[in-house]
Amino acid sequence: MEMQKSLVVGGVELKWDLASGKVLFEGGDVVFFWVSAMKTFFDTINEISGEEATNLVLEATGFRQGIIVGEGFKEMKNIDTSNVVDWLSNTYVPAGWGYVKVNEIDQENNAFTLYIKDDWEYKMNNLSEQPKDGIFVPAHYAGVFTGLFGMKFWYKIIQHQSANNEYTIVEYFPSEVDIQQNIRNMARKQEAEQIMQLEALVEEKTRALQNLVKELSSPLIPVLDGIVVVPLIGRYDEDRAEDLIQNTLNHLPTYQARYVLLDLTGLNKDISSYTAELIDKLGSAARLLGVEVILVGISAELAMTISHTLTHLKKYECMQTLQHGIYYALGKSGRRIV
């Protein structure tokens, strides 16, 4: 059995050493894969990383691989703009990369226009139920030119091969595009998107918490016919005060309330002037609806504060405990608990 075989296609030598298991393409060690096997590899990257990150990985990998190829062949073939046309076709067509040809060269600006047809990435993408446009191969050739000529090249895809377009047409030109910078930009973009998602989640949870606080901070508790209790808890700002007043006044007719007991037990010992104004405002509004307001939960410290600084609250009946307030309201309505 012959252990070594070689073949020259388009001036490119392919050599197989079956004893060592090596395949040499122009003296370099290569590996051949089915297009369907490459699709599995690419699909796995996409499954793990997502569409956008996968595109960046393919672009960066294709570009960097192209640099290695370009630098390697630059030393072997002494390639310049005069022979790059033949070199590309003679090298990539035998390697199974499909048809590729430089149809336009702008030597003054070192710009190239490539016509690419039936490359392996195009074939691979066509195996998918939803075919997508290639990015690895166009980026690879940008890396090839970068490696060949020792200056950074980048690309612009004019059209993709499709049922209506025979070729993928790509322009290549000198550029300061930095793949590493693109990767950093992608990372920052993903971080920004994650931050935005977290901010949206925090905002959603904050709204839910605020709604819950509104529900808990201004409840009306009917204890007996015509008597409801409204506990005041914590400090009140403009929003909480408005919610308390609206909720209380809107529900008083529902309970046919004649007495509202404002329970101040949950307030700080030092009631702020704003909270005192809130109590007075609520009491005045309730009185217009024919409802009497009684203040309950008055501690010794709070009684001193009302006596000395919040004197406008002295016009309301004040009780030490909620129980006293309920007995008082019952007595005024001619009822009692038996």
Residue 209 placed within a domain: no
Edge-to-edge strand order for the sheet containing 317-318? 221-224, 227-233, 259-266, 292-296, 317-318
pLDDT tens profile 268-295: 566 778 888 888 898 999 999 999 999 9
Residue 224 Rama label (left phi>0; alpha psi -120 to 50; beta):
beta
Residue 211 placed within a domain: no
Residue 187 placed within a domain: no
Cβ pair 284, 262 in contact under 8 A:
no
| 258 and 289 co-located in one domain | yes
Chain length of the chain: 338
* Mean pLDDT in residue range 197-223: 75
| 313 and 251 co-located in one domain | yes
* Mean pLDDT in residue range 203-228: 77
Residue 214 placed within a domain: no
Query: Which pLDDT score is estimated for 227?
Result: 92
Amino acid (1-letter code) at residue 88: L
Cβ pair 337, 304 in contact under 8 A:
no
| 23 and 137 co-located in one domain | no
| 127 and 224 co-located in one domain | no
For 229, other C-beta atoms within 10 Å of its C-beta total: 22
| 46 and 107 co-located in one domain | yes
Residue 198 placed within a domain: no
| 120 and 240 co-located in one domain | no
Residue 206 placed within a domain: no
What whole-number distance in Å separates Cα of residue 293 and Cα of residue 279? 9
Closest to 134 (Cα-Cα) out of 188, 29, 214, 58: 58
DSSP 237-280: -HHHHHHHHHHHHHHTTTTT-SEEEEEEEES-SS--HHHHHHHH
| 281 and 150 co-located in one domain | no
pLDDT tens profile 169-208: 999 999 887 777 766 776 676 667 777 887 788 888 877 7
| 311 and 241 co-located in one domain | yes
Query: Which pLDDT score is estimated for 14?
Result: 79
**Residue 338: pLDDT over 70:** no
DSSP 183-207: HHHHHHHHHHHHHHHHHHHHHHHHH
Residue 197 placed within a domain: no
Query: Which pLDDT score is estimated for 94?
Result: 78
| 42 and 1 co-located in one domain | no
Question: What is the extent of the structural domain holding 52?
Answer: 34-177
Structural domain count, the chain? 3
Residue 86 placed within a domain: yes
pLDDT tens profile 73-113: 777 766 666 677 777 877 888 778 888 888 888 878 888 89
101 burial level (CB within 10 Å; 0-12, 13-18, 19+): middle
Query: Which pLDDT score is estimated for 21?
Result: 75
| 104 and 58 co-located in one domain | yes
Closest to 234 (Cα-Cα) out of 189, 278, 267, 274: 267
| 25 and 50 co-located in one domain | no
| 42 and 173 co-located in one domain | yes
Q: Across all residues in the chain, what is the average pLDDT? A: 83
Beta strands in the chain (DSSP E): 4-9, 12-17, 22-25, 28-30, 99-106, 111-117, 153-159, 168-174, 221-224, 227-233, 259-266, 292-296, 317-318
**Residue 1: pLDDT over 60:** no
